[in-house]
């Protein structure tokens, strides 16, 4: 699947967002290594801390279906600006691979691509835990 199509799926997914507080709808489309697409949207909560981002929604949906190998994720919002994942989403993406392409788009479908490792350099990953478990 090309990234333009993945961005279109993210734009469509944002329409399902539940964002009554921020009014900032975000959609995500996660592409597995087997070309399966899992979509997600942000789901807000009055206590804000319980809000879940679109990227994490898509990842959790895929993992709950038994998928853990991903090649790309696209995210888009209603903004004219290209959006980037928050820190929590970057950390969750890192869990599944530093080489995942993050396709960041705006409401017009324009996008740019970065690797997860470029968005969260020196991130905390499984290497640290593996070293500790060897002790």
**What pLDDT digit, counting tens, does each position of 57-74 carry?**
999 999 999 999 999 999
Contacts of 65 (CB under 8 A, 6+ apart): 38
pLDDT at 128: 76
- The pLDDT value recorded for residue 132 is 63
Please give the residue range of the domain that contains residue 88: 3-133
For the chain, the average pLDDT equals 95
CATH number at residue 23: 3.40.140.10
41 marked ligand binding residue: no
| Type and span of the H or E element at 6 | helix 3-13
Instruction: Return the active site residues.
Output: 55
Q: What's the CA angle centered on 52, arms 125 and 57, to 5 degrees?
A: 70
Give the rounded distance of the alpha carbon of 86 from its chain centre.
Answer: 9
Instruction: Read off the pTM.
Output: 0.93
Structural domains of the chain, count: 1
């Amino acid at each position: 699947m090309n990234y333009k199509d993945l961005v279109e799926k993210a734009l469509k997914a944002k329409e399902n967002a539940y964002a009554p507080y921020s009014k900032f709808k975000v959609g995500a489309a996660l592409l597995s290594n087997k070309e399966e697409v899992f979509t997600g949207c942000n789901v807000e909560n009055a206590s804000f801390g319980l809000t879940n981002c679109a990227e994490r929604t898509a990842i959790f949906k895929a993992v709950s279906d038994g998928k853990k190998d991903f090649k790309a994720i696209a995210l888009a919002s209603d903004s004219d600006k290209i959006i980037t994942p928050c820190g929590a989403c970057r950390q969750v993406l890192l869990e599944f691979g530093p080489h995942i392409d993050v396709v960041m788009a705006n409401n017009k479908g324009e996008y740019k691509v970065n690797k997860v490792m470029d968005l969260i350099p020196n991130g905390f990953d499984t290497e640290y835990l593996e070293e500790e478990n060897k002790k």
